[in-house]
DNA sequence: GCCGTTTTCGGCCCGACTGTTTTCAGTCG
């Protein structure tokens, strides 16, 4: 797919245009980039099928950009972009990743210090050269250094949402081969860690294809999108895809599949612990199986499935998301593993935006999509007025929206459809912890979500008190993305999480597990703390369009990694129970 | 450069926050 390459070129062009203060064009290019990035179909396919006119049908792509796409598909280059790069040969997308660095500052840095990439930027900052530039200062220099640390730390770590679709795509392609018996995801991706270093896949070959591995590996290393083949062998091949994601494929024997999967799923710490348990029982566990010493010789006693591997060393099956050696082994030994929430146990999504606040879909469309997912309810929680930029709703608009929702619910009732739209809002927690909507209006909604969307850089105690005050508001039932972190981009704001959890527990307020792959907030550690205290949680997608509803599984994975059970997750409950919870406050 | 229930021109999300200033530019969402 050329979509990603084009997206990154257009995004760079937007930055170049921004440098020259050209009005409006940057936004157009930025929008085109964003659309291409998220386009589920290959632009090349569209072009082959429908030509340039077909490209122009994509919203956000007009005549000129369609023309540039065609130029790229034919020549692999866009002349105008090459010209821009020649004029200022900086790695714009790399530098833009540094939080706080934008086109204008990059331009200054290039013109004064000839900085073109991250390494040079770091060196200049370390040598104190940046603080002397006009309109830069010591603080900016320090922020840049901190930003670089973030980029570096995240380099080579991919979001779950980047790695998982790629892995699933590869599996879908290889599954078509008749030689493939099983092929599954292993590694940190299987454990659904929030960031992934590389993708590990594990396969077995059908017994009737003795030469099958050759065919499978050959297909694998020739998949579209591969930019480098590191290794090519019959049991292990390793390749790099675009975006620099590395993928390993291993082919193992059918009777070693379980032990290999256990081994390659990790975590490393979990594996060390399981091997120790095996040793303590006179057994040996490795990727080839579980072995017992009989008359001086190791004899294999398990290996085909993970279940039998765990059983052989005296443990119940442990879900991959729990395999971190943070207590799951001990719990397993005592028969106290939690019955963590399953991927199909969510009954509704409580944090969603509609076209009323600039979301892509109407309330009706969001509801229909939720119904198609088998949900029993959906909560519409548009932004409120403080977030003018997000078209936040004021009191009157909220009341108008309430009427529309009542109408839709009446319609469902009339058609005997067992589905309900709940009306909420995502109110803003202002600096002092008050909300930006009057209580008497909040009182008319089914529930209120409150979240911090401004002033992230508060002192820990101040921020904690700010959120606790919002928790104490009687209408606030859920706190959205409670720590404000953006994975690989922004740290959580400093927060006394124990105080927050205590306040939530005392007031019957739920905390959100935001399923948006860049947020996944709360994280696993905090979820587990919440679960241990008995604080209730809501897994929400924070959808701004109906397709985002599908991201719920990222949030469920996070909940599972935090040991959450259905009794902890309020939106796994039937509607009456959920409403009772809301009323308890 | 894109778009159109104000369609082929004239709009285009705009306020908060930060760090630099001493009135504002740049970035973010």
Closest residue (CA to C1') to nucleotide B29 in the complex: A389
∠ CA A63-A33-A103 to the nearest 5 degrees?
Answer: 110
What CATH number does the domain containing A549 carry? 3.20.20.140
- A107 and A15 inside one domain: yes
Q: Domain range spanning residue A384?
A: 348-581
Peptide bond into A327 cis (omega under 30): no
Question: CB of A455 under 7 A from strand B?
Answer: yes
- A218 and A131 inside one domain: no
- A139 and A261 inside one domain: no
Chain A residues 487-546 with Cβ under 7 Å of strand B are 489-490
What CATH number does the domain containing A286 carry? 3.30.210.10
- Let me know if residue A29 belongs to a domain: yes
- A163 and A194 inside one domain: yes
| Number of domains into which chain A is organized | 4
What CATH number does the domain containing A183 carry? 3.30.460.10
Q: How far apart are CA A513 and CA A507, in angstroms?
A: 18
Q: Are A158 and A195 in contact (CB under 8 A)?
A: yes
Terminus-to-terminus CA distance in chain A, angstroms?
A: 51
Strand B contact nucleotides, protein CB < 7 Å: 1-4, 11-21, 25-29
Q: For every one of its 585 residues, what pLDDT tens digit does chain A have, with 9 covering 90 and above?
A: 688 889 999 999 999 999 998 888 999 999 899 888 877 788 998 999 999 999 999 889 999 999 999 999 999 999 999 999 999 999 999 999 998 899 999 999 999 999 999 999 999 999 999 999 988 999 999 989 988 988 887 766 889 998 999 999 999 999 999 999 999 999 999 999 999 988 999 999 999 988 899 999 999 999 988 887 888 999 999 898 877 788 999 999 999 999 999 999 999 889 989 999 999 999 999 999 999 988 888 999 999 999 999 999 999 999 999 999 999 999 999 999 999 999 999 999 999 999 888 788 899 999 999 999 999 999 999 999 887 666 788 888 899 999 999 999 999 999 999 999 999 999 999 988 999 898 999 999 999 999 998 888 888 889 999 999 999 999 999 999 999 988 877 788 889 999 999 999 999 999 999 999 989 999 999 999 999 999 999 999 999 889 899 999 999 999 999 999 999 999 999 999 999 999 998
Q: Are A29 and A13 in contact (CB under 8 A)?
A: yes
Q: How far apart are CA A252 and CA A353, in angstroms?
A: 46
Question: CB of A135 under 7 A from strand B?
Answer: yes
- A550 and A411 inside one domain: yes
- A353 and A394 inside one domain: yes
- A166 and A82 inside one domain: no
Closest residue (CA to C1') to nucleotide B3 in the complex: A60
What CATH number does the domain containing A135 carry? 1.10.150.110
CA of A309 to C1' of B29 (A): 49
Chain A residues 339-378 with Cβ under 7 Å of strand B are 358
Q: How far apart are CA A491 and CA A569, in angstroms?
A: 25
- A243 and A277 inside one domain: no
Chain A residues 249-278 with Cβ under 7 Å of strand B are none
Q: Are A71 and A79 in contact (CB under 8 A)?
A: yes
- A97 and A162 inside one domain: no
- A264 and A196 inside one domain: no
Question: Considering A231, A251, A271, which residue would you say is the last residue of a domain?
Answer: A251
Nearest nt by C1' to A147 Cα: B27
Question: Considering A208, A228, A251, which residue would you say is the last residue of a domain?
Answer: A251
- Let me know if residue A415 belongs to a domain: yes
Question: Considering A154, A186, A212, which residue would you say is the last residue of a domain?
Answer: A154
Q: Where are the alpha helices (DSSP H) in A91-190?
A: 92-96, 103-113, 118-126, 138-154, 160-175, 187-190
Q: Where are the alpha helices (DSSP H) in A334-394?
A: 363-372
Nearest nt by C1' to A103 Cα: B26
β-pairing verdict for A199-205 and A180-186: antiparallel
- Let me know if residue A342 belongs to a domain: no
User: Judging by beta carbons within 10 Å of its beta carbon (0-12, 13-18, 19+), is residue A302 exposed, middle or buried?
Assistant: buried
- Let me know if residue A391 belongs to a domain: yes
Give A99's DSSP letter: T
Q: Which two tokens stand for residue A365?
A: 């469309």
Question: CB of A338 under 7 A from strand B?
Answer: no
Among A412, A472, A446, smallest CA distance to A575 is for A446
Question: CB of A568 under 7 A from strand B?
Answer: no
Q: How far apart are CA A247 and CA A240, in angstroms?
A: 6
Residues 6+ apart with CB under 8 A from A248: A198, A199, A200, A201, A236, A237, A238
How remote is the C-alpha of A279 from its chain's centroid? 38
- A149 and A163 inside one domain: no
CA of A110 to C1' of B1 (A): 27
- Let me know if residue A340 belongs to a domain: no
- A150 and A263 inside one domain: no
Question: CB of A65 under 7 A from strand B?
Answer: yes
Q: Are A437 and A369 in contact (CB under 8 A)?
A: no
What is the torsional sign of CA A43, A44, A48, A52? positive
């Amino acid at each position: 797919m050329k979509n990603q390459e084009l997206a990154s070129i257009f995004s760079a062009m937007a930055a170049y245009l921004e440098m020259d203060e050209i009005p409006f064009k940057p936004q157009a290019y930025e929008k085109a980039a964003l659309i291409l990035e998220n386009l589920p179909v290959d632009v090349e396919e569209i072009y082959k099928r429908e030509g340039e006119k077909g490209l122009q049908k994509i919203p956000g792509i007009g005549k000129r950009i369609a023309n540039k796409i065609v130029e790229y598909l034919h020549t692999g280059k866009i002349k105008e972009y090459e010209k821009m790069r020649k004029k200022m040969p900086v790695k714009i997308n790399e530098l833009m990743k540094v939080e706080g660095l934008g086109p204008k500052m990059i331009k200054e840095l290039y013109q004064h210090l000839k900085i073109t990439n991250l390494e040079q930027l770091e060196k200049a900052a370390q040598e104190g050269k940046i603080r002397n530039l006009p309109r830069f200062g010591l603080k900016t220099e320090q922020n840049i250094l901190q930003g670089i640390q973030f980029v570096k730390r995240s380099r080579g770590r991919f979001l779950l949402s980047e790695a998982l679709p790629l892995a699933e795509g590869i599996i879908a392609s290889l599954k078509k081969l008749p030689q493939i018996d099983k092929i599954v995801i292993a590694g940190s991706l299987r454990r659904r860690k929030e960031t992934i270093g590389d993708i590990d896949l594990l396969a077995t070959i059908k017994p009737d294809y003795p030469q099958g591995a050759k065919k499978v590996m050959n297909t694998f290393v020739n998949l579209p999108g591969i930019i480098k083949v590191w290794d090519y062998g019959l049991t292990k091949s390793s390749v790099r895809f675009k975006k620099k994601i590395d993928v390993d494929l291993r082919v193992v024997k059918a009777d070693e599949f379980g032990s290999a999967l256990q081994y390659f799923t990790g975590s490393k710490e979990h594996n060390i612990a399981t091997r120790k348990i095996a040793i303590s029982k006179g057994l040996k566990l490795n990727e080839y199986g579980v072995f017992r010493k009989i008359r001086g010789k190791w004899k294999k006693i398990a290996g085909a499935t993970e279940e039998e591997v765990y059983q052989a060393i005296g443990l119940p099956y442990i879900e991959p998301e729990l395999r971190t050696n943070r207590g799951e082994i001990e719990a397993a030994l005592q028969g106290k593993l939690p019955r963590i929430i399953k991927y199909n146990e969510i009954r509704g999504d409580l944090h969603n935006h509609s076209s009323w606040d600039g979301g892509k879909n109407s309330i009706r469309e969001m509801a229909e999509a939720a119904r198609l997912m088998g949900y029993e309810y959906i909560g519409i929680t548009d932004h409120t007025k403080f977030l003018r930029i997000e078209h936040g709703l004021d009191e009157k608009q909220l009341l108008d929206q309430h009427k529309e929702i009542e109408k839709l619910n009446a319609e469902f009732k009339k058609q005997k459809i067992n589905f309900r739209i709940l009306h909420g809002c995502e109110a803003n927690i202002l600096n002092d912890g008050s909300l930006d909507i009057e209580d008497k209006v909040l009182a008319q909604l089914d529930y209120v979500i409150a979240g911090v969307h401004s002033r992230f850089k508060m002192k820990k105690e101040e921020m904690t008190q700010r959120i606790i005050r919002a928790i104490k508001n009687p209408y606030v039932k859920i706190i959205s993305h409670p720590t404000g972190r953006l994975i690989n981009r922004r740290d959580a704001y400093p927060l006394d999480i124990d105080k927050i959890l205590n306040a939530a527990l005392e007031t019957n307020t739920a905390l959100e597990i935001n399923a948006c792959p860049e947020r996944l907030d709360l994280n696993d550690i905090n979820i587990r703390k919440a679960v241990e205290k008995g604080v209730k949680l809501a897994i929400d997608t924070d959808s701004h369009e109906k397709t985002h509803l599908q991201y719920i599984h990222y949030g469920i994975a996070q909940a599972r990694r935090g040991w959450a059970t259905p009794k902890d997750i309020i939106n796994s409950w039937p509607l009456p129970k959920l409403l009772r919870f809301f009323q308890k406050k």
